[in-house]
Amino acid sequence: PRVAEPSRAAPPTARPERPYVDRDGRWLGHEGGPRDERYRADRPWPHGRFAGPIGAGHLHRLSGWDIGRHRFWFGTSLFLVGSADWNNVDDWDWNDDDVVLYDDPDHPGWYLAYNTRLGTYVHVEYDGPTQQ
């Protein structure tokens, strides 16, 4: 089943050390809050903000992965995976998984991309539109 609400997601079955959303809707692995320097942006949203819908109920189907730049896309939008999270996306299906984007409440300029199949999430930055 495709789940859009993290609060209804099961913890990931593989690699539970990755950031995930538990059955009670708690975002585990994000406890560092605003003090986590890995996600401090000197210039938040350098490519603008994502103009599409975000939050619960807004699924986006992944359409590809650029391994050299550590970025993915869906529709006409590109997203860079934060370097601290690169090891947390090796089990994502870049041509079929659904993600839900959330504003990161602790780190301006970042979004949290929640993988509905795995119940895990990573920090991403909007990288602008794809070249049509």
pLDDT at 6: 56
Report the C-alpha gap between 118 and 71 in whole angstroms: 18
Q: Please report, for residues 64, 80, 87, 115, 119, the alpha-carbon distance to residue 68 in angstroms, rounded to integers and kept in the order given.
A: 12, 11, 14, 21, 25
pLDDT at 15: 57
Instruction: Chunk the chain into consecutive blocks of 10 residues (it has 132) and report each block's average pLDDT, rounded to whole numbers.
Output: 46 65 82 86 93 94 96 96 95 96 94 94 95 66
pLDDT at 16: 60
